[in-house]
Amino acid sequence: MKKKETIHRRNDNIWKIALALVCLGILGYGFLYSKNTTADIAFLVGYNLPLALIIWGIFYAAVVRKQGAKVGGFSFLAIFICMIASSLIGYSQQKQEAIKVLSEIKDQYSKILESSTDSRGLPKCIETPIKTTPKAHGEFGEIERFIKEFMAQMVSLRNDYLLELEAIGWNSILDPNRIKEDKTFVESRVIIQKARGIVKKYTDKTTNLLNDAKNKIRSLNISESSKRSMLSGFDRGMKEAKENIDAMWSLEAKTIDEFENIITFLAARKGAWFVKGEQILFYNDSDLERFNFYIASIQNIMKQQEQIQRQSIQIVNRNFNRFKEN
């Protein structure tokens, strides 16, 4: 009698140990490998039910078939609960990776903005390097790397644009001493013509960069479902971003138009003004008012560009905070 009780206890311990190992394996999978991105219980129940039945069927046939209906039912319930828990663990892990990506991108974005203007608020080359090595892992790490590389390309494009403008002498277009030496205004008109060509060149380059981004998403080492989601999100996000980008380039072109108006005005009113020190002075108030009108127009364009930048920052912060709250 004691021998039979001992055997029964051993069998009882075996299925419990086996069930514990299966449950630990399911939970471990959720911690290490699950890519679940939802906490919707209804969805998780429906999704995990057939999988739980398959796993339980194998476990039942191999371990608890002779333990009775009560043990069989308990083991199914334990496996099913662990499947749900594993999915929730996976969701938590994925969300933490996603937050890590967004935090890193937000930090890089803030640094870029901080170093994009000088002490006077004027655009300057961004010297802050973007570290493209991802901090997240798995698919989120691949996505983080793509976003950082994209940001680095945008920064490089902007720096090249500013350097080309500097190379043609754009920064000194209204320098009084340069204008004083430019008797026929030929040099000034050449600079403006070159600047207009540079704006067109980099407007096209920006468009090409945005279009190429979609092809790069398709080549990322992530699942097809993730690619579809990322492309869908990219299209929605880029619709608003593209409007801002196009507006910025349009304002750049308008800025050149206003500088051209100033040069045309100075050429037409030659003799009605003179250079003294670092200033252009006018003999009558009406000419001064016209000159100041063009300067005010340029300043207004700069304010519009700053407003677009502020809106972009607000959108980034709002989306980041919204994700953290979900």
pLDDT, tens digit only, all 326 positions of the chain: 444 444 445 555 676 777 777 777 776 766 666 666 666 666 666 666 777 677 767 776 777 666 667 776 777 777 777 777 776 666 666 677 777 777 777 777 777 777 777 777 778 888 877 888 888 777 778 888 888 888 889 889 999 999 999 999 999 999 999 999 999 999 999 999 999 999 999 999 999 998 898 889 898 888 888 788 888 878 877 777 788 888 999 999 999 999 999 999 999 999 999 999 889 999 999 999 999 999 999 999 989 988 887 777 776 666 666 555 54
What pLDDT score was predicted for residue 62?
72
Q: Are residues 125 and 200 in the same domain?
A: yes
Does 48 map to a domain? yes
What pLDDT score was predicted for residue 22?
75
Cβ-based burial of 263 (10 A; exposed 0-12, middle 13-18, buried ≥19): buried
What pLDDT score was predicted for residue 256?
96
Last-in-domain residue among 64, 95, 126: 95
Q: Are residues 40 and 136 in the same domain?
A: no
Does 220 map to a domain? yes
Q: Are residues 138 and 48 in the same domain?
A: no
Last-in-domain residue among 95, 124, 148: 95
Q: Are residues 243 and 183 in the same domain?
A: yes
What pLDDT score was predicted for residue 50?
74
- Pick the closest to residue 22 from 57, 46, 67 (CA basis): 57
Within 13 A of 64's CA, how many CA atoms are on the CB side? 24
What DSSP letter does each residue of 218-251 carry, written as one string?
HTSSS-HHHHHHHHHHHHHHHHHHHHHHHHHHHH
Does 106 map to a domain? no
Does 105 map to a domain? no
Does 102 map to a domain? no
pTM of model > 0.75: no
Q: Are residues 124 and 229 in the same domain?
A: yes
Domain that holds residue 27: 2-95
What pLDDT score was predicted for residue 236?
76
Does 89 map to a domain? yes
Last-in-domain residue among 40, 65, 95: 95
Tokens of 99: 């937050």
Does 14 map to a domain? yes
What pLDDT score was predicted for residue 228?
85
Q: Are residues 84 and 135 in the same domain?
A: no
Structure-derived torsion over alpha carbons of residues 165, 171, 177, 183, reported in degrees to the nearest 10: 30
Q: Are residues 80 and 121 in the same domain?
A: no
What residues pair up with 123 in beta bridges, in sequence order? 117
What pLDDT score was predicted for residue 64?
62
Tokens of 302: 């700069």
Q: Are residues 224 and 142 in the same domain?
A: yes
What pLDDT score was predicted for residue 3?
46
Q: Are residues 91 and 134 in the same domain?
A: no
Q: Is 117 in contact with 123 (CB distance < 8 Å)? A: yes
Q: Are residues 208 and 274 in the same domain?
A: yes
Q: Are residues 53 and 126 in the same domain?
A: no
Q: Are residues 19 and 141 in the same domain?
A: no
What pLDDT score was predicted for residue 85?
73
Does 61 map to a domain? yes
Domains: count for the chain: 2
